[in-house]
Structure 1
């Protein structure tokens, strides 16, 4: 692991003069050079009209509403899919749709997306329209089967399309060919939110709400769902997404959120009034995702839809239980993966491949994505972890490094080795795939060979980008609170990370896996606490260390203090 320094983006510094100098440095390093770039008001959101296909999609929805047709929302089994599904149902009901339901494929029975099998299941409900949320752009055969049954499909998705688009009645996806929408990073919940905003505008213009005796819905009412799905799906937080996230966080902090989200926050032990994006990513999203990983995402969706706080809490308690079970399964899988890697290390005489393809028959297919992420973080290599999916099929989750676009790599393998991969899809950094079990060794060889063509070994060294050192006087509560409030931070707009040398005065293990530290600055000007999550295995630290850390706020038993959240520890003695 190496620590490198971030550099300021090109362009003149036109940030406000009153801005704290550390914040100025942080923003400039993330490409924000103007006061406008700091603006996170809803009025600065990109207009929905910029999305290709949105007019056709709105017209289709309007016609179904006018006819009081039955709408079926088909979602995905992750947090983005769950929030997208809940948002679509709540908004369409508020728009006067009396017959709207949802269907989310069970991961273990049907797999991902609008497959022909899911269409057959959906057809039993006799929908007049199917809307996909957070999926559908790769559902060529599923959309075709729906057309054969006379069911039009409206695809809303954000995943990268393949060479062929589904023959849907309408498609809204900022990543489809010819789409000029400036933000390509919307999550699935962001795409359906934009469509519903455009639909509300059309209905209001047509006098629909007055005719139906309905109040015009306030779309901001559902930004709590938008922020949760956006953060949990790890999409890049460009300015448009940061607006959605910031506005959603403000509503949650003010207590204006769904009872289910409120219950999940409570069970996660977070302070709702001080919630930040990382709380959603590390504490709330995983609890919601646990339903889709281990059982059925219907529980998560019902928790989000619940209006009764006691019912929402009961479902949140079950989600919390599932998440604890998920963590136990994940820990076992990590230990098994480590054994596989140690064996591989021995077989290759101290080396391991540039890309890792791992499989164990006992692994849980709902957890392999997390496992792949953990291994990628530790070994700084693209990783695909496979689990048995039944009927001789393996289900894999891929996680990549910045130097390798994993979906493009899978597409290259599929084109060069016909029939090797059954299905695949995803993004630059994450993807999913399935293949016959007998193809695993051939796929492993193709994956490692193709990745070796794309990767330079020098790119596989872990790197932390630092925003520089902080003077001792800056390591206080004032700056810690400023940094916490200055986000939202997340994928593509990372929380400020600093580095510096410290003396280790005390250390102890807390929570079995974490290091609690008492530190003194190198010059001895200040002492403060630090916490190094999941680093207890480092054992006794040297007396002098170089740390990469985030300056954060720790509130414990009524005391509010600055704290270093340590990302990396390097001995200097």
Structure 2
């Protein structure tokens, strides 16, 4: 079943021997698993609760009810909100608004406090609340909204707890008994599917008659792609199709003004590179997230909802400025965290400690602890929780994990073994949020480390760089780099190809004060290639070596309209 009109050129690339090897190492063995057409997506009807959800939304549209979107304050929440707003309006809803909780005053999700704020802000509360990328754990908030006479419709992708909120309808691919095959949908993917199911229902009930025509929901896929990649959900087959289709729209210049403006801001003073999933995750996502981290995600949502480039550019400039400020704050917090860890680690005597890292400073910015935890996790290769000061003696924590440690399950186990130790928590396998009492930080640290240590018993926690092996000399070519770029989208759970090899170093220099540019001899060939290693802040003593072994990506470097081959170096070490 086609849930939206497909974008053209959806055929996967021909599988060369190199691509065949790469796909097979990622458990893709048949061409059908590489399909890129929206026709190949599973139908919305497979999602549990879809009938109830679309029935409620149809009734709201036909009855001209007021609908308010309640969004999360990250990039997935922002794109989910923009998709819901644009999609519901296109389908005929006349009164659609949104609210996103301020993380510093309202906390996460649909809370009773947010319901009170909604009711105080309007003489007439909305008839229907639709949560996006949140709601599955918001029992009290759902109850408060329903007590005020509002319908509550929950769309979410986070893992549910032992019980579900008493909402009027819930769509979440991770509900017990849900048969939808794409369990890795981000929040933005869930609301896109809900809109697709709603369009089918409205079409069947005769809503689209006369001058009213069914909208092309594929126009929302640029937003779906951005939110999916930025939320770092696994790029399974369903998500790869959604992201590929969204990237095709962006590359064709058919993205919404907000995304176009963010690309312009990011590409300033550089040649316009072909957008990839990496562009969404590492370039656009951080700028969008900066609003939610430092101020109010309403600014980011406004950028994505802007319908003209002038307004979109102004908002994108503000987001870019916020992102620069976030980087400054993050750098200071990183320096303080590393100093803490260097002091704490030598004092550990229990062999079970060291399985995780937990850091806290009362001066840390609550909106930046998530990215701080991620940076520490990448370097230590341990689960990490960073805490910041909350209100009323509470600490707000952000957890990031590694393969093999489902951090939400760990928090669930800690909560079960030590009732009351965690005030509340929620999240995914690789990321979670939690709140604890400051006075119980030491007890929580011990319990969390012990739980993680049990999971990691016998596991080598040394960070290992896993590559796709050596690249034949003939494949060090710009055409190969372009082929690999177009063979994705690559991302979480479907990693971008990473090769390794030994090179003779012909030259190297620091560029941009913190990046290392190298000129290398291709092994087994009489040719040279440029390489770049980013953020080499503390160059090692061996940097003047004549040969090195490197793990690298094959990149297309676009600069001022000129394309060239470049190795993106992820890891390197000297060859004696």
Tell me how far apart the structure 2 counterparts of residues 481 and 430 of structure 1 sit (CA, whole Å): 32
| C-alpha deviation, 1:243, in angstroms | 0.4
For structure 1, list consecutive stretches of 5 or more residues without a partner in the other structure: 1-14
- Of the structure 1 ranges 468-477 and 53-62, higher mean CA displacement relative to structure 2 is found in 468-477
SS at match of 1:424: strand
Contact preservation (8 Å) 2:101, 2:107: yes
Distance of 1:345 and 1:301 partners within structure 2 = 42
Note the C-alpha offset of 1:457. 5.3
How many positions carry a matched residue from both structures?
Answer: 558
Match among 204, 214, 227 for residue 229 of structure 1: 227
Alignment TM-score, normalising by the size of structure 1: 0.95
- Which moved further from structure 2: 509-518 or 367-376? 509-518
Q: Distance in 1 between matches of 2:480 and 2:391?
A: 53
Q: Distance in 2 between matches of 1:349 and 1:543?
A: 41
Residue aligning to 1:33: 29
Deviation at 1:17, TM superposition (A): 11
The answer on 1:413 being equivalent to 2:414 is yes
1:430-441 pair list within 5 angstroms: 430-441=431-442
2:486 counterpart residue number: 485
Shift of 1:273: 7.0
Closer, same or farther in 2 for the Cα pair 1:177/1:476, shift >3 Å? Answer: same
2:88 is aligned, of 89, 92, 99, to 92
Tell me, yes or no, if the aligned pair for 2:12 and 2:36 is still in contact at 8 Å: no
Report the equivalent of 2:141. Answer: 142
Q: For residue 31 of structure 1, report the CA deviation from its aligned partner.
A: 1.2
Name the CA distance, whole Å, in 2 between partners of 1:541 and 1:474. 27
How far has the Cα of 1:123 moved from its partner?
2.8
Deviations 1:230-274 (A, max 9, x none): 010001001110000000010111111110110000101176671
Structure 2: state its 5+ residue gaps: 1-10
Alignment counterpart, residue 60 of structure 1, candidates 56, 59, 81: 56
CA offset digits 1:163-221 (Å, max 9, x no partner): 0110110000000111010010000000000000010111112221326x423210101
Partner in structure 1 of residue 423 of structure 2? 422
The alpha-carbon deviation at position 130 of structure 1 amounts to 0.5
Q: Distance in 1 between matches of 2:300 and 2:257?
A: 12
**Counterpart of 2:465 in 1: which secondary structure?**
strand
| 1:8 alignment counterpart | none
- Given candidates 553, 563, 567, the residue that maps to 1:564 is 567
Question: Is the Cα contact below 8 Å between 2:503 and 2:549 reproduced in 1?
Answer: yes
- For the Cα contact (< 8 Å) 1:255–1:272, is it kept in 2? no
CA contact 1:541–1:571 (8 Å) conserved in 2: no
**Whole-Å separation in 1 of the counterparts to 2:185 and 2:559:** 36
Other-structure match for 2:345: 345
Query: SS at the partner of 2:521?
Result: strand
- Alpha-carbon distance between aligned partners in 1 of 2:273 and 2:260, rounded to the nearest angstrom: 11
CA RMSD of aligned residues (A): 1.8
**1:557 Cα shift?**
3.5
Residue 330 of structure 2 is matched in structure 1 by 330
Aligned mates of 1:558, 1:235 — CA distance in 2? 33
For each residue in 1:303-354, what CA deviation from the matched residue of structure 2 results, as whole angstroms up to 9, or x when unmatched?
0001121011000000000000001111111111110111013323899711
The aligned residue for residue 12 of structure 1 is none
Per-residue deviation, residues 105-124 of structure 1 (Å, max 9, x unmatched): 00110111111111122234
Contact 1:68 1:97 in 2 (8 A): yes
- Give the superposition deviation at 1:387: 0.6
